[in-house]
């Protein structure tokens, strides 16, 4: 394949990871910018677009101006913010960063499970009060975790929970009756999610946001949970009906929640989640390791090499399904 033209869409030209683009083949025609104007000279000849910026506003503006583009890559795993009708309808493949961030999200979910099982908040509260108060804790090896959304992130959670001796159940869009694998004792179809949830001590939401998954965990699902159940969300905020979850938490119908994602981000000032003592709140940074953006850039460079050589791309998104 001859010289390729690449457009890199960013919101910060000082991002140190952009320096890694110097590893692209020397013959690559490259434009990096924060606005449509930055790509005026190359956009009509662009072969590929790399959406390094979070969100899809700039991509939405640039894509229609690039008639020759043959590939779009976005650094994030979730694609709900970058899918728009023109991209969905086009034959241009979209790839994402699936797999780059899954290990740290799996660890966050496991940490949240231990946080509630060992009641670390009570330990810290007593320590700060200078109070010596013994209490009972739980062994997670005797407990069950259910994962709603059994993709790459869900399996990262499952592998870590299983290694700790937990019983793992899962909900997957396409699941054969009674299906199981090396981590999950049983995999349920979405219509049986309430049945699975009723058996779980921890319920992890790891599903992408699509029309089908919006509000997937709502009043019915919270009503099915054990009083001691904990909800963990490492997928997308709107996958859980936030109002229904808030009622379950404030009324103490479930034990608690560990949340990395929310309906609105940043979480608005004064939101009840900030003050609830049965909520562990992470400001959407559970996957922010010290090198998370570097990993995302290096994965793109590997993808670009595949594209340049005409090899199959990894992480091709089903644009109609949204993941």
33 contacts: CB under 8 Å, gap ≥ 6:
7, 8, 9, 10, 13, 39
Of the candidates 265, 294, 305, 311, the residue annotated as catalytic is 265
- Give the SS3 label for residue 46: coil
Note if 271 is an active site residue: no
281 three-class SS: strand
Set 73, 236, 255, 308: catalytic member: 236
What are the beta bridge partners of residue 29? Answer: 5
Kindly report the backbone phi and psi dihedral angles of residue 256, in degrees, each rounded to the nearest multiple of 5, phi listed first. 180, -175
The neighbour count for residue 306, using CB atoms within 10 Å, is 14
Peptide bond into 211 cis (omega under 30): no
List the catalytic residue out of 70, 173, 192, 284: 284
16 part of the active site: no
Bridge partners, 231 (sequence order) = 203, 257
Query: Among positive and negative, which fits the CA dihedral 171, 111, 282, 104?
Result: negative
Integer CA distances (angstroms), 61 to 47, 68, 85, 127, 284, in order:
16, 15, 12, 54, 26
DSSP string across 221-251: HHHHS-TT-EEEE-S-GGGB-HHHHHHHHHT
The whole-angstrom separation of Cα 223 and Cα 202 is 14
Tokens of 123: 């330990």
85 CB contacts (<8 Å, ≥6 apart)? none
219 is catalytic: no
Query: Which class for 191: exposed (0-12), middle (13-18), buried (19 or more C-beta within 10 A)?
Result: exposed
- Opening angle at CA 237, ends 194 and 163, nearest 5: 65
261, two tokens: 């994602």
Catalytic residue ranges = 236, 265, 284
């Amino acid at each position: 394949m001859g010289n390729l033209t690449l457009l890199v869409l960013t919101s910060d030209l000082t991002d140190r990871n952009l320096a890694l683009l110097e590893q692209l083949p020397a013959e690559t025609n490259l434009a990096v910018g924060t606005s449509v104007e930055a790509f005026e000279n190359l956009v009509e000849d662009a072969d590929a677009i790399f959406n390094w910026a979070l969100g899809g506003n700039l991509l939405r503006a640039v894509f229609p101006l690039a008639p020759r583009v043959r590939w779009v890559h976005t650094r994030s795993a979730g694609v709900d913010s970058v899918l728009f009708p023109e991209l969905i309808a086009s034959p241009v493949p979209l790839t994402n960063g699936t797999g780059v961030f899954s290990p740290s999200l799996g660890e966050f979910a496991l940490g949240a499970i231990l946080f509630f099982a060992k009641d670390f908040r009570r330990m810290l509260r007593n320590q700060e009060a200078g109070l010596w108060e013994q209490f009972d804790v739980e062994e997670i090896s005797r407990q069950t975790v259910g994962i709603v959304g059994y993709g790459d992130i869900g399996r990262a959670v499952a592998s870590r929970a299983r290694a700790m001796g937990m019983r793992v159940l899962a909900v997957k869009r396409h699941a054969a009756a009674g299906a199981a694998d090396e981590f999950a004792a049983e995999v349920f179809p979405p219509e049986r999610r309430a049945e699975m949830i009723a058996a779980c001590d921890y319920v992890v939401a790891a599903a992408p946001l699509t029309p089908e998954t919006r509000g997937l965990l709502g009043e019915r699902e919270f009503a099915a949970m054990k009083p001691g159940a904990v909800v963990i969300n490492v997928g997308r905020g709107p996958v859980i009906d936030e109002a229904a979850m808030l009622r379950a938490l404030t009324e103490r119908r479930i034990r608690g929640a560990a949340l990395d994602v929310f309906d609105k981000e940043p979480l608005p000032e004064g939101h009840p989640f900030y003050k609830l003592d049965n909520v562990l709140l992470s400001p959407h940074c559970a996957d922010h390791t010290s090198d998370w953006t570097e990993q995302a850039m290096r994965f793109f460079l590997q993808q670009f090499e595949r594209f340049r050589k005409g090899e199959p791309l990894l992480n091709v998104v089903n644009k109609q399904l949204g993941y």
